[in-house]
């Protein structure tokens, strides 16, 4: 009886399962690029700033192409958008492994191609397609399953990558990633948007342009877009630069892999709890609390003496807050505007996230090269936590007038 209420169709079941596989693979590969830095530095002569810039470009392309893939998913179906993106992703990993992969080619493969691939395979597009299969009462819960399974990729990938890098080297490890991405491309075929029969919402005649105009005339949407910038800055600063940061503080490289794995493990619980609570209470309060607690976690990490224990506590606490913003954020977008253009509108919110990601990746490397430490990047991250905690509070969680009068 519970499954009949939760899943409205067979397509919804298959789509949720396939989307989980897609996100697990896509985010699992994306999570561990920071562990490759030392090898890239030694083998390809990639500096900290160049590496940070490549990751920054990757984040920007992820964000810039997200709305495009979202529009493709809204118009032609989720599977078309995700398969197209996986093609870019697989080429990026393949050429990064086999070459040419130095200088500008490193930026093209790590930054441009992989970034485009992430625009259609990572969280936003698979989750927006899943969201279209579920009503408001269970939508955030379904979305939280996608982020939770993606988090399991976060947990497994650093463990495998750390072992593979030490035993087989970075080229072989990237080739294994290439094979996993091919599996993700196959799974993407089953991430289907609902048919007209299965669609859970009333048919809307709203156009693409009208949806954009309505969104950007809605103050709550603008606040949400502004706040999600901070999420991107946080997670990319941590994911890209924590491996080097812990080594700078005298800890071993396996500690960095352990932090990333703990982030993935505890994000499973954080994402599921966020999805559950988002269906029960105010989503904006959940988001405000998450951003504030992120600041607390960073303060603890950088101001306590360096040790494996403090590093593990940071990994667990920050991991619990890692993608827990996603179900609540996407849930607010769907609640405000409905699901017809959810891929596009959440993609634009995610673009802001990725602009923040660019600054988190690039400024982290730049500050380190200029000042010899990441301190100023961490201070900025703490200030942004306070900003995000405040800016979500004025959001009004109610559908736009168009939906209230239908």
> How far, CA to CA in Å, does 78 sit from each of 137, 239, 270, 303, 329?
22, 28, 26, 44, 20
The reply to whether 336 falls in a domain is: yes
Residue predicted with more confidence, 192 or 287? 287
- The Cα–Cα gap between 202 and 210 comes to 17
**For the chain, what is the largest distance between any 2 Cα atoms, rounded to a whole number of angstroms?**
62
Of 47, 146, 352, 317, nearest to 229 by C-alpha is 352
Which is more confidently placed, 127 or 367? Answer: 367
Are 153 and 28 within 8 A, CB to CB? yes
Q: Which of 292, 380, 291 is nearest to 329 (CA)?
A: 291
With 50 as the cut, is the pLDDT of residue 4 above it? no
Q: Is residue 5 in a domain?
A: no
Q: What is the pLDDT of residue 173?
A: 94
- The neighbour count for residue 406, using CB atoms within 10 Å, is 10
Q: Interior CA angle at 286 toward 153 and 60, to 5°?
A: 50
Query: For residue 4, is it within any domain?
Result: no
User: Cα torsion at 376, 253, 325, 202 (round to 10°)?
Assistant: 130
CATH code of the domain containing 157: 1.20.1250.20
175 in any annotated domain: yes
Query: Would you state the pLDDT for residue 3?
Result: 44
Q: What percent of the chain has pLDDT over 70?
A: 93
Q: How much is the average pLDDT of 92-116?
A: 91
Domain around 53: 10-195+208-404
Cα 305 to the center of its chain, rounded Å: 30
> Region 312-326: what's the mean pLDDT?
91
- In the DSSP assignment, the letter for residue 201 is S
Residue 201 lies in a domain: no
Q: What is the pLDDT of residue 404?
A: 59
Spatial distance between the Cα atoms of 183 and 124, rounded to a whole number of angstroms: 19
Indicate the pLDDT class of residue 5, thresholds 50, 70 and 90. low
Given a cut of 70, is residue 199 above it in pLDDT? no
Query: Is pLDDT at 108 greater than 50 in this prediction?
Result: yes
Mean of the per-residue pLDDT values for the chain? Answer: 86
Residue 190 maps to a domain: yes
**d(C-alpha 130, C-alpha 201), whole Å:** 14
pLDDT for 200 beyond 60: no
pLDDT digits (tens, 9 = 90+) for 264-317: 889 888 888 888 888 888 999 999 999 999 999 999 999 999 899 999 999 999
Q: What is the mean pLDDT of residues 250-256?
A: 84
Looking at residue 1, its pLDDT comes to: 36
For residue 2, the model assigns a pLDDT of 40
Phi, psi of 218 (to 5 degrees): -105, 115
Q: Would you put residue 206 in left (φ > 0), alpha (ψ -120 to 50) or beta?
A: beta
The stretches of 132-167 forming alpha helices (DSSP H) are 136-167
State the pLDDT confidence band at 115, using cuts at 50, 70 and 90: very high
Q: Count up the domains in the chain and report the number.
A: 1
pTM given for the model: 0.77
């Amino acid at each position: 009886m519970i499954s009949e209420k939760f899943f409205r169709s067979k397509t919804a079941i298959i789509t949720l399962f396939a989307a989980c596989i897609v996100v697990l693979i896509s985010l699992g590969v994306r999570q561990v690029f920071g562990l490759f830095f030392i090898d890239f530095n030694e083998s390809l002569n990639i500096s900290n700033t160049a590496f940070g810039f490549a990751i920054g470009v990757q984040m920007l392309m992820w964000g810039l192409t997200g709305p495009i893939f979202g529009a493709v998913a809204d118009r032609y179906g989720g599977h078309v958008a995700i398969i197209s993106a996986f093609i870019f992703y697989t080429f990026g990993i393949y050429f990064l492994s086999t070459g040419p992969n130095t200088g500008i080619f490193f930026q093209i493969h790590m930054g441009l191609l992989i970034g485009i691939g992430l625009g259609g395979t990572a969280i936003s597009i698979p989750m927006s397609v899943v969201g279209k299969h579920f009503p408001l009462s269970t939508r955030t819960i379904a979305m939280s399953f996608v982020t939770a399974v993606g988090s399991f990729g976060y947990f497994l990938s650093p463990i495998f990558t750390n072992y593979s890098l030490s035993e087989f080297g970075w080229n072989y490890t990237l080739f294994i990633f290439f094979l996993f991405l091919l599996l993700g491309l196959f799974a993407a075929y089953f991430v289907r948007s609902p048919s007209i029969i299965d669609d859970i919402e009333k048919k809307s005649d709203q156009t693409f342009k009208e949806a954009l105009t309505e969104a950007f005339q809605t103050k709550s949407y603008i606040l949400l877009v502004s706040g999600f910038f901070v999420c991107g800055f946080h997670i990319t600063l941590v994911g890209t630069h924590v491996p080097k940061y812990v080594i700078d503080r005298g800890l071993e490289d396996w500690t960095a892999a352990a932090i990333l794995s703990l982030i993935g493990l505890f994000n499973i619980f954080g994402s599921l709890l966020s999805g559950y609570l988002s269906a029960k209470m105010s989503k904006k309060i959940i988001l405000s609390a998450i951003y504030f607690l992120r600041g607390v976690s960073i303060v603890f990490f950088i101001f306590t003496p360096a040790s494996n224990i403090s590093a593990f506590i940071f990994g667990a606490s920050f991991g619990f807050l890692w993608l827990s913003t996603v179900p609540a954020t996407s849930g607010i977008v769907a609640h405000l505007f409905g699901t017809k253009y959810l891929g596009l509108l959440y993609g634009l919110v995610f673009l802001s996230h990725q602009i923040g990601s660019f600054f988190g990746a690039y400024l982290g490397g730049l500050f380190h090269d200029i000042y010899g430490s990441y301190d100023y990047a961490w201070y900025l991250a703490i200030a942004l936590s306070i900003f995000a905690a405040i800016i979500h509070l004025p959001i009004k969680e109610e559908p736009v007038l168009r939906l209230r009068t239908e």
